[in-house]
Chain A
Amino acid sequence: MKRIYLDHNATTPLDPEALKVMMPYLTEEFGNASSIYEKGRVTKKAIAEAREKVARLIGAQSDEVFFTGGGTEADNWAIKGAAESLRDKGNHIITTVIEHHAVLHTCEYLKEHGFEVTYLPVDEYGLVDPEAVKQAITDQTILVSVMYANNEIGTIEPVAEIGKIVKEKNILYHIDAVQAVGKIPVDVNAIGVDLLSMSAHKLYGPKGVGALYIRKGTQIKNLIHGGAQERMRRAGTENVAGIVGFGKAAELAFDHLSETEERLTQLRDKLLNGMMEKMDHVRLNGHPIHRLPGNVNVSIEFIEGESLLISLDMKGISASSGSACTSGSLDPSHVLLAIGLPHEIAHGSLRVTLGKENTEADVDYLLDILPEIVQKLRAMSPLYEAYLKGEGNRV
């Protein structure tokens, strides 16, 4: 059976070109970039070139990019590093309820260490109101952290508008841009951001490598202590192959950004429109326009997400859901609850995230098999039975 991968917000396949440039650094070019002999110079140069490519993708200077062990580390570093550095100035952090757990749990940790955290709500589309950011700022506020685009519902936040407000108040501004970089144009100077987190494996690079953009002159404390790597800001012998693969992936993303964005937006809308046409009681989660190119997130009423995912998996499709059973907890996704979905509707969510290797045929195949699966699960659902009898409360 042909397998179709439709979960690109979870991770992406490594681009063969990225793998190709990584291979020498996994074999003969094993040198430590801190060594002064030839083997070290080769890897040092490779890291410098990758840094330039990642910087170019976000409109930064290369000495503002610091490689990390991934997006989660970048988020941890930005938030903990800023909080610790500015502790004397205040103890208040502003973020949102729909952040990734890498941000939410880092903020929870800081709360245990004397910081106050405001979690801003979002509207029904998952949008943060810039005015609410303004209202939440106090004389104790030291950091505002907002995600660029949401990993589940794909909503793109008004990060530049928020940036304007935050900069007027001279507060540090962090953006978790893990889902945005490589998918849509990101320009650190147009947004006025101080700290921006990225991850390689979301843009067809390898896992285990990411980066934090730190605007020149921004003081944050180190998270990882040790050697003098990354200009003394992030210790640890560099993951050279990973960094080189990240660089190549960033280069490819930069070179093909607008064509990929346009093609995936069309595929996304074809899929979404097809779902709406072929099935009843389906609602879109997230914003219809301010939305990541390849992201479709719908709630299919009267059925539960994990059952749907297993059924799709048996037909060769890899997708995801915000149901409790797939979130590893008893509650469905915090993002779906934050946009106001009742539990039973949140349990029935399906997230399909398209990537550059997906074709129209992939979308057609999904549209072909999905209605039948949904029909089978609804035939099994006591909620659907109650609805047909006119007992259920449809939302």
Chain B
Amino acid sequence: MYSEKVMDHFSHPRNVGQIENADGTGQVGNAKCGDIMKIDLKIEDDHIVDVKFKTFGCGAAVATSSMVTEMVKGKTIEAALAISNKAVAEALGGLPPQKMHCSNLAADALHEAIKDYQKKQAQ
């Protein structure tokens, strides 16, 4: 059902955890649909210097979360905002069609975390 890359990210997820005093935190999904993704960011000079995630969900939900953290580490905020859910799925070698909607929200969580950072900066 899942590609090798998905299985690799599921069994060896990158950047699991939380960041104390994160500069930005984003959470999407809900327990009802069975997927919750939370992303913490550490941002310096407009660059994402650290990122951690926690996910409650299926194999695809874990793999997309792990993948997005790998994709954004060291990137600028602008570059991170350009990453779409579709791009994350593509980077994983694709997802089963039924997973494209409910379990492919990792980029949304990332964007929420950046928004949270920008809101804090504005204050």
Q: Which residues of A contact B (CB under 8 A)?
A: 302-304, 306-307, 310-311, 314, 323-325, 328, 330, 332, 342-344, 347, 379-385
In the bound complex, residues from chain B placing their C-beta under 8 Å from that of A332 are: 34
The distance in angstroms between the C-alpha atoms of A332 and B34, with both chains bound, is 8
Do A382 and B58 contact each other (CB < 8 Å), given the known contacts A330-B33, A332-B34? no
Besides A323-B58, A325-B60, 16 other A-B contacts (C-beta < 8 A): A303-B56, A304-B56, A304-B61, A306-B59, A307-B58, A307-B62, A325-B59, A325-B99, A328-B98, A330-B34, A344-B32, A381-B54, A381-B56, A382-B37, A382-B56, A385-B38
Distance (whole angstroms) from the CB of A312 to the closest CB of chain B:
12
In the bound complex, residues from chain B placing their C-beta under 8 Å from that of A310 are: 2, 7, 10, 59
The distance in angstroms between the C-alpha atoms of A380 and B58, with both chains bound, is 12
The distance in angstroms between the C-alpha atoms of A347 and B34, with both chains bound, is 6
Within B1-52, which residues are at the interface with A (CB < 8 Å)? 2, 7, 10-11, 13, 16, 18, 27, 31-38
Q: Is the CB of B32 within 8 A of A343?
A: yes
The residue on A at minimum CB distance from B35 is: A304
Q: Is the CB of B16 within 8 A of A382?
A: no
Do A383 and B36 contact each other (CB < 8 Å), given the known contacts A310-B10, A343-B31? yes
Report which of A307, A330, A385 forms a contact with B57, defined as CB distance below 8 A. A307
Distance (whole angstroms) from the CB of B46 to the closest CB of chain A:
27
The residue on A at minimum CB distance from B102 is: A330
In the bound complex, residues from chain B placing their C-beta under 8 Å from that of A347 are: 31, 34
Q: B103 on the interface (CB 8 Å rule)?
A: yes
Do A306 and B58 contact each other (CB < 8 Å), given the known contacts A314-B11, A343-B31, A344-B31? yes
Q: B55 on the interface (CB 8 Å rule)?
A: yes
Q: Is the CB of B27 within 8 A of A343?
A: no
Distance (whole angstroms) from the CB of B106 to the closest CB of chain A:
13
In the bound complex, residues from chain A placing their C-beta under 8 Å from that of B57 are: 304, 306-307, 325
Subset of 24 A-B contacts with CB under 8 Å: A302-B56, A304-B56, A310-B7, A311-B11, A314-B11, A324-B33, A325-B34, A330-B33, A332-B34, A343-B32, A343-B33, A343-B34, A344-B31, A347-B31, A380-B54, A381-B56, A382-B37, A382-B38, A382-B54, A383-B31, A384-B56, A385-B18, A385-B38, A385-B54
In the bound complex, residues from chain A placing their C-beta under 8 Å from that of B32 are: 343-344
The distance in angstroms between the C-alpha atoms of A314 and B7, with both chains bound, is 10
The distance in angstroms between the C-alpha atoms of A240 and B67, with both chains bound, is 52
In the bound complex, residues from chain A placing their C-beta under 8 Å from that of B60 are: 325
In the bound complex, residues from chain A placing their C-beta under 8 Å from that of B2 are: 310
Q: Is the CB of A382 within 8 A of B33?
A: no
The distance in angstroms between the C-alpha atoms of A17 and B106, with both chains bound, is 51
Q: Which of B11, B56, B58, B60 has most A Cβ within 10 Å?
A: B56
Kindly list the 9 A-B residue pairs having the minimum CB-CB distance in the complex, ordered from nearest: A344-B31, A306-B58, A325-B58, A382-B38, A382-B54, A347-B34, A343-B32, A381-B56, A324-B34
